[in-house]
Structure 1
Amino acid sequence: MHVPDGFIDAPVSAVTGVVAAGAVAVSLRGARRELDERTAPLAGLVAAFIFAVQMLNFPVAAGTSGHLLGGALAAILVGPYTGVLCVTVVLLMQGILFADGGLTALGVNVLDMGVVTVVVAYALFRGLLKVLPGTRRSVTVASFVSALVSVPAAAAAFTLLYWIGGTTDIPIGKVFTAMVGVHVLIGIGEALITALTVGAVIAVRPDLVHGARGLTTALKLRVDGELVDAPAAPAPVPAPAARSHRGLWATGLVTALVLAGFVSYYASSHPDGLEKVAADQGIDKKTEEHAAKDSPLADYGVKNVSDARVSGGLAGVIGVGATVAVGSGVFYVIRRRRAQDTPEAPAHDRETV
């Protein structure tokens, strides 16, 4: 659903850019509360994983494909504020390096694919957890439903922006019907990917899943006929936990590299939902050339590499590497800012050796 330059007029693109920048600024502050020494490295990995999976277009209808948006997945794994930042990093890498998604439309894409998907998905996710049993399975189910709904919600948001500032005169009802209809199908793929990924991480490290925190009910013991809280379990040994954290990060990175560097070659070549609707409805009549069209990595291929498999694979690996590097750098800085903003405990409150 990457909106290219020329779909939305300049005034609306500018206003949307300001709104998106404000949302990112709020997210930068909010992410300080979500990120810690365990989750900050995971956030960079989540951004890289979303980049990789977005290269895997899957068929959804005759001549149409779809791909992961990632807002729901990021919000559930690392929190809504950090989730907005993850998707924003991905969109920046795609727009600057790969000429995917217009640069003047960057605000539109951040607002639509980042903010709208995260807000809708996480609000629905939290609402579902309030009525479902407090179990890991409920987290997976809520992940599926919230991801499914987030995609047509983003399609509806694009339609609203197009109604306000579209550059072609197309009946908005037709655009809405076509956009939401095809993106409901894409949402099923989004839901499956999100639920499988969240379920896999929960099975290994549930403590790292933001959306799964606080689900475990405290253990009760019956003493003299009354229920009392059981003694707290001993703290885990730091060394094995650290090894497990590094193992999860390494596994996730290798998975992203394999998906982008190898599996992406077999992705569907059909246009995605927005491209198909734009061609069918005439939205793309005033599409502008991308400012980065001459980039060495434009269209997810390495310039001057003739073999399509090698070219696409190298571009995917470079993209994953760049995204994890930039994302990890951003989240490391945010984590450091949180540490600097946290006042040091008074000397009399600290333990003495």
Structure 2
Amino acid sequence: MHVPDGFINAPVSAAAGVVAAAAVAVSLRGARRELAGAGQGTGSAAERTAPLAGLVAAFIFAVQMLNFPVGAGTSGHLLGGALAAILVGPYTGVLCVSVVLLMQGVLFADGGLTALGVNITDMAIVTTVVAYLLFRGLVKILPRRRGSVTVAAFVAALVSVPAAAIAFTALYALGGTADVPIGKVFTAMVGVHVLIGIGEAAITALTVGAVIAVRPDLVHGARGLAKPLELRTAPVSAPAAPAPAAGDLGTAARETAPAAPAPAEPAVATADAPAPADSTPAPVAAPRRSARGVWLAGLAAALLCAGGVSYYASASPDGLEKVAHDQGIDAKAEDHAAKDSPLADYGVKNLADPRLSGGLAGVIGVGATLAVGTGVFVVLRRRRAASPGGRPAAARPHEDA
């Protein structure tokens, strides 16, 4: 659903750019809180969330290369707003998809540069907001178990795609450059993107379900479903005295009569004998769990999708391209400013082998998106930690080690 240059006029494109810039600014502040509050407030887990958020952006980039057929010579691809919001949070999700759209527009000539604000508004903001609001509502009414998160993710992703189609139709009604009846645009866009939404929902549910199965603590939308670990202690009882013989009952009664308690002496701690601990056990820190395995698995999946599986993606036009061609929306479409880029159209320039050209371009795209996304989130995390509202250094002893 990448909107090219020339579909929407300059005033509406500029207004959409202002909306996108404001939403990104708000998301930057919100993402700081989401990154700082990751991992149940522990600093080590929060530090791991920035690389994971960058990985989510790279994974979305890779899976967007996998166009799947939806019938009638049309294909679709993942938008990713629902997936990002559920995995890393709505604010961080907006930034993830925005980074993907920026890299696609600048490096691969996919989505117009003057239409970048339109694409961020439509594909990053609308999908993320609609999906996350619906997801949170469903999680509240469904049974509190992990399967409910997957079901809610499926429904939220399904609805987010036609919601983006409706948003595009509204933008086109305000600033479309071709004289096309808006009713036809609405019917065609929503109709085909409902079908694409089924594919989006399946990809989102499978991905969320896979991460929940191994590390539910890393899924933003699944927080609060797992019960915290409790440390239980049982009092130590003295060994039971042997039962007296029948003839000794009287003697036993005298020996077991309660004696006057001896006065308690205060416990004094010395260098050799520390003071006795009370009966309340000291809190035990939860063991640190590394996210390296999940990160490596996600990176391997992204590289496999972009570097290999993308060769088998459907060559049919996606939903917007098909509707634009059939309805005449593309009458005034403009060439991309980066059409001569070395990676334009997801291929390496002057590399004749299409499989190698597309695969190498995909790998480069994953690496670039991962680097930019991770860099953005690491900076945000560190600025949050260094701000007056962040956690003081004394509260993060592991960072001083």
TM category, shorter: over 0.9
CA distance in 1, matches of 2:374, 2:80: 17
Quote the residue 2:286 is aligned against.
236
Q: Is the 8 Å Cα contact of residues 38 and 208 (structure 1) preserved in structure 2?
A: no
CA distance in 2, matches of 1:277, 1:111: 20
1:255-311 CA-to-partner distances (Å, cap 9, x unmatched) read: 100100000000000000000000000000000000000100000000000000000
Bigger share in helix: 1
Q: Is the 8 Å Cα contact of residues 132 and 156 (structure 2) preserved in structure 1?
A: yes
Q: Is the 8 Å Cα contact of residues 134 and 216 (structure 1) preserved in structure 2?
A: no
The answer for unaligned runs of 5 or more in structure 1 is 221-230
1:225-259 CA-to-partner distances (Å, cap 9, x unmatched) read: xxxxxx99954322xx12xx111101110110010
1:174-214 CA-to-partner distances (Å, cap 9, x unmatched) read: 00000000000000000000000000001111001000001
Q: Does 1:297 align with 2:343?
A: yes
Which amino acid is the alignment partner of residue 200 of structure 1? Answer: A
CA distance in 1, matches of 2:391, 2:80: 37
Identity percentage of aligned residues: 78
1:256 to 287, 297, 302: 302
Report the 3-state secondary structure (helix = DSSP H, G, I; strand = E; otherwise coil) of the residue aligned with 1:59: strand
RMSD: 2.1
Quote the residue 1:4 is aligned against.
4
Cα pair distance change 1:307/1:130, threshold 3 Å: same
Which amino acid is the alignment partner of residue 4 of structure 1? Answer: P
Deviation at 1:218, TM superposition (A): 6.4
Report the 3-state secondary structure (helix = DSSP H, G, I; strand = E; otherwise coil) of the residue aligned with 2:78: coil
CA distance in 1, matches of 2:384, 2:394: 20
Whichever of the two has the greater Rg, that structure is 2
Q: Is the 8 Å Cα contact of residues 104 and 110 (structure 2) preserved in structure 1?
A: yes
Mean CA deviation greater in 207-216 or 83-92: 207-216
Deviation at 1:39, TM superposition (A): 1.4
Corresponding residue pairs, total: 338
Deviation at 1:345, TM superposition (A): 4.5
Which amino acid is the alignment partner of residue 297 of structure 2? Answer: T
CA distance in 2, matches of 1:193, 1:273: 17
CA distance in 2, matches of 1:321, 1:254: 11
2:371 to 319, 325, 331: 325
Deviation at 1:41, TM superposition (A): 1.0
2:63 to 53, 61, 68: 53
Quote the residue 2:101 is aligned against.
91
Cα pair distance change 1:211/1:347, threshold 3 Å: closer
1:122 to 116, 123, 132: 132
Q: Is the 8 Å Cα contact of residues 9 and 177 (structure 2) preserved in structure 1?
A: yes
Quote the residue 1:184 is aligned against.
194
Q: Is the 8 Å Cα contact of residues 66 and 186 (structure 1) preserved in structure 2?
A: yes
The answer for unaligned runs of 5 or more in structure 2 is 36-45, 231-280
1:79-109 CA-to-partner distances (Å, cap 9, x unmatched) read: 0000000000000000000000000000000
Quote the residue 1:142 is aligned against.
152
Q: Does 1:283 align with 2:293?
A: no
Deviation at 1:62, TM superposition (A): 1.5
Report the 3-state secondary structure (helix = DSSP H, G, I; strand = E; otherwise coil) of the residue aligned with 2:75: strand
Q: Does 1:152 align with 2:162?
A: yes
Quote the residue 1:44 is aligned against.
54
CA distance in 1, matches of 2:395, 2:322: 66
CA distance in 1, matches of 2:283, 2:151: 29
Regions of 4+ moved over 2 Å: 216-220, 231-238, 342-351
Quote the residue 1:68 is aligned against.
78
Quote the residue 2:385 is aligned against.
339
Quote the residue 2:92 is aligned against.
82
1:315-353 CA-to-partner distances (Å, cap 9, x unmatched) read: 0000000000000000000011110114554979999xx
1:103-139 CA-to-partner distances (Å, cap 9, x unmatched) read: 0000000000000000000000000011001111000
